[in-house]
Amino acid sequence: MKEWQKETVYQIYPRSFQDSNGDGIGDINGIISRLDYLQKLGIGLIWLTPMYLSPGNDNGYDIADYYRIDPVFGTMDDFEKLLSEAHKRDIKIIMDMVLNHTSNENSWFKEALKSKDNPYHNYYIWRDPVDGHEPNNWVSKFSGSAWKYVPELDQYYLHLYDVTMPDLNWRNENLRAEIFKMLTYWANKGIDGFRLDVINNISKDKNMPNDTFNTPLDDGRNFYTNGPHVHEYIHEMYEKVFGPNKFVTVGELSSTPISEAVKYTNPKRQELSMAFTFHHVKVDYTNGKKWTLGHYKLTDLTSILSAWQTQMQRHGGWNALFWNNHDQPRAISRFTNDDEYRDQSAKLLAMVEFGLQGTPYIYQGDEIAMKNAYFTDIKQYKDHESINAYHEMLKNGMSEDLALQILQQKSRENSRLPMQWDSTKYYGFTTGQPWLKPQHHDDYSVEKVLKTKNNIFDFYRALIFLRKHKTVLVDGEYKLLNPKDNSVYSYERFNNKRKILVMANFTEHAQERDVAAGFDLILGNYGDMQLNQGKITLRPYESVMLEKK
Ligand code: GLC
Ligand code: CA
């Protein structure tokens, strides 16, 4: 068993974590000042979203210089200090690495624009116009065409994301060599791993422009998701960088079937340590569409989670477990009740996640039950994806009200609100004006939660502790009980010595269920349990973890 299989990862979105100089943007010194807090929580690794030099059109996922820290976050010295302070506390640091695209302000792209013969031109993906328009009908994930015309070259470049984020051409050996060199530079600084942004999109099909305007409008994902050479490229990174440095790596793999995720993460293949996949957080998409008011059925959620649990384990893959990240609205607002049952809901989600097989991730603020932003005006949003989607919805005839309601439910900006440290106006996040302002004052904060008895933070600590000490939670098999249950999610984890049972009531009504004889409570979000003669009554949003005696 590997250490990172027992540990918990904490995701920091630096911009919103802790500001140290009053400019309203979180920074490295801010993170350093909160390391003791994270140590107390008990996490073993931190994943930092990008802090490289960037114009910030996608909050750092648009990298202008891979070798520099953006001054907004601090200096390279600050970063090195963060690394050593984290290591002193036995916390590993995983950097986010964006290899599918760069910013258009990256010097590679600036060179690429100079001429078709420039050696950097071929670092990106270019196509000639077809009958005077885009080479094909692909839409960017941030709305609009995925192609941008450059008149000076009479060519289009591909951008699967923002128009300021051109996709890199991994077929080019020189580009790959540059990337390995750059990864090695970071490895030599002593970091402990990478989270690899949209890594399964890096290998584009040679024939991709043939996806013509006649095919139904689509994002072309079949031509670049888990493309022809992606496993080779990742294995090459493993051989050159990840393996020799004993890195912990996690790939962001959207739209990926289990069979592929197994290939990326089975250690025998020497690619990645684990995989983020997204089927469970798309469960409230209506007909596969994100920008809709969504509802979900618990059985859909549990069947997705269960398929990933059983099949990844059967084939030697490894899941990264999560409900939230900087691209997702808060799960507490989405799947449970963030109001009357806020504490219970936060703990229930934590327990369901930590009971599963894989490495659990906590996104900043989960541990104090942070919830959606509920913005009421489009002007409150900064995120390009959300703003573009809003205009697209209006263009398609939707009312402003409905479009805003959809953003309140689905926008990723919901989880980017500054971290709530105390009860002052901007929660101790900044002494200035936060880059993203909360709509309401929310009285949940670290300060308040820590003063509360049986608080959420301590509940997470208990779960982190349990995973380190009960190996059945790490290596045990998984079994879904009552697959048709639409109110209570029940599953077991077991090996030849132990058996754990997790039950979680996803409704605001009491639910009675059978429990086999011989189970004791090890953790519950109400503190006790109501078990009588083989029947448990689960109170609203109650969750329990039981162990067989
Ligand atoms: C990933 C990141 C997201 C970003 C996108 C493009 O999905 O998590 O925040 O916008 O990649 O880099
Ligand atoms: Ca700052």
> Is residue 197 lining ligand 1, measured as CB closer than 6 Å?
yes
* pLDDT at 206 exceeding the cut of 90: no
Is residue 197 part of the annotated active site? The answer reads yes
Per domain, the residue ranges of the chain are 3-102+173-459, 107-158, 477-548
16 CA distance to ligand 2 middle (Å): 10
Query: What span, in angstroms and rounded, lies between the C-alpha atoms of 191 and 338?
Result: 36
Q: What is the mean pLDDT of residues 302-315?
A: 98
Ligand 1 probe mutation, 61, 100, 102, 160, most atoms within 8 A of CB: 61
Tell me the percentage of the chain whose pLDDT exceeds 70.
98
Q: Are the C-beta atoms of residues 374 and 380 closer than 8 Å to each other?
A: no
Ligand 2 mean position, distance from CA 56 (Å): 14
Catalytic residue among 58, 62, 167, 197: 197
214 has a pLDDT exceeding 80: no
CA 418 to CA 442: how far, in whole Å? Answer: 12
Atom of ligand 1 minimally distant from the CA of 326:
9
**Mean of pLDDT over the chain:** 96
Q: Pull the structure tokens for residue 127.
A: 């196509």
Q: What angle do CA 73, 74, 75 make, to 5 degrees?
A: 135
Tell me what pLDDT residue 78 has: 98
Nearest bound ligand to CA 54? 1
Ligand in closest contact with the CA of 47: 1
- Tell which residue, 454, 374, 449, has the closest CA to residue 414: 374
Establish whether residue 98 lines the binding site of ligand 1, counting it when its CB lies within 6 angstroms of any ligand atom. Answer: yes
What atom of ligand 1 comes closest to residue 385's alpha carbon?
Answer: 10
Choose which residue among 15, 16, 58, 385 to substitute to test ligand 1 binding: the one with the highest number of ligand atoms within 8 A of its C-beta: 58
Question: How far apart (Å, rounded) are the C-alpha atoms in residues 281 and 279?
Answer: 6
CA gap 142, 148 in Å, rounded? 13
Cβ contact 440:415 at 8 Å: no
Taking 60 as the threshold, does the pLDDT of residue 150 lie above it?
A: yes
Q: Give the whole-number percent of the chain exceeding pLDDT 90.
A: 93
Among residues 107, 112, 113, 135, the alpha carbon closest in space to that of 123 is found at 112
Tell how far the Cα of 27 is from the centroid of ligand 2, in angstroms. 5
8-state DSSP, 249 = E
User: 417, 13 in Cβ contact below 8 A?
Assistant: no
Distance in angstroms (rounded) separating the CA atoms of residues 323 and 309: 15
61 Cβ below 6 A of ligand 1: yes
Ligand closest to Cα of 27 equals: 2
CA distance 128 to 154: 7
In three-state form (DSSP H/G/I as H, E/B as E, the rest C), the secondary structure along 402-452 is: HHHHHHHHHCHHHHCCCCCCCCCCCCCCCCCCCCCCCCCCCCCCHHHHHHC
Confidence of residue 216 (pLDDT cuts 50, 70, 90): low
Angle, helices 173-189/230-237, rounded to nearest 10 degrees? 40
Joined tokens for residue 521:
């409570």
Q: Phi and psi (nearest 5°) for 226?
A: 50, 50
- Closest residue by Cα to atom 3, ligand 1, is 327
Is 80 exceeded by the pLDDT of residue 129?
A: yes
Question: Which ligand has its closest atom nearest to the C-alpha of 418?
Answer: 2
Tokens of 43: 């996490």
**Longest CA pairwise span in the chain (Å):** 79
Distance, CA 197 to ligand 1 centroid (Å)?
6
pLDDT at position 377 over 80: yes
Q: Poorest-confidence range of 132-146, 265-279, 442-456? A: 132-146
Q: In the predicted model, what is the mean pLDDT of residues 147-161?
A: 97
Tokens standing for 138? Answer: 């692909």
User: 391 with 379: CB under 8 angstroms?
Assistant: no
Q: Give the Cα separation of 189 and 182 in Å (integer).
A: 11
Give the H/E segment covering residue 179: helix 173-189
Known catalytic membership, residue 413? no
Residue 365 CA to ligand 2 centre (angstroms): 19
Q: Give the torsion sign (CA, 42, 44, 47, 48).
A: positive
Cα 175 to middle of ligand 2, angstroms: 33
What pLDDT sits at residue 221? 83
The superfamily in CATH containing domain 107-158 is Oligo-1,6-glucosidase; Domain 2 (3.90.400.10)
pLDDT at res. 215: 54
Instruction: Say whether pLDDT at 480 is over 70.
Output: yes
Asked if residue 202 lies in contact with residue 252, where contact means CB atoms within 8 angstroms, the answer is no
The CA distance from 201 to 254, in Å, is: 9
Q: Using CA positions, which residue lies closest to atom 9 of ligand 1?
A: 327
Tell whether the torsion through CA atoms of 184, 185, 188 and 191 is positive or negative. Answer: negative
Predicted pLDDT of residue 212 = 55
CA angle 355, 361, 367 (to 5 degrees): 90
Instruction: Give me the pLDDT at residue 205, please.
Output: 86
pLDDT band, residue 211 (cuts 50/70/90): low
The domain 3-102+173-459 having CATH identifier 3.30.470.20: the answer here is: no
Which atom of ligand 1 is found nearest the CA of 62?
A: 12
- Which atom of ligand 1 lies at the shortest distance from residue 325's CA? 8
Report which protein residue has its CA nearest ligand 1's atom 7: 198
| CB 58 near ligand 1, within 6 Å | yes
Name residue 404's beta-bridge partners. Answer: none
Three-state DSSP state, 229: coil
Once rounded to an integer, what is the mean pLDDT over residues 386-397? 97
* Token pair for 318: 């490894």
For domain 477-548, the CATH superfamily is: Golgi alpha-mannosidase II (2.60.40.1180)
Q: Which range (208-212, 261-265, 406-410, 510-514) has the least confidence?
A: 208-212
pLDDT grade for 209, boundaries at 50, 70 and 90: low
Q: Cα(297)–Cα(284) distance, rounded to whole angstroms? A: 8
Confirm if 15 and 25 have CB atoms less than 8 A apart. yes
- Out of 27, 252, 284, 442, which one is annotated catalytic? 252
- Say how many Å lie between the CA of residue 47 and the centre of ligand 1: 14
Q: pLDDT at residue 181 above 70?
A: yes
Q: At what angle do helices 76-88 and 173-189 cross, to 10 degrees?
A: 60
- What is the Cα gyration radius of the chain? 23
Number of the ligand 1 atom closest to the C-alpha atom of 61: 12
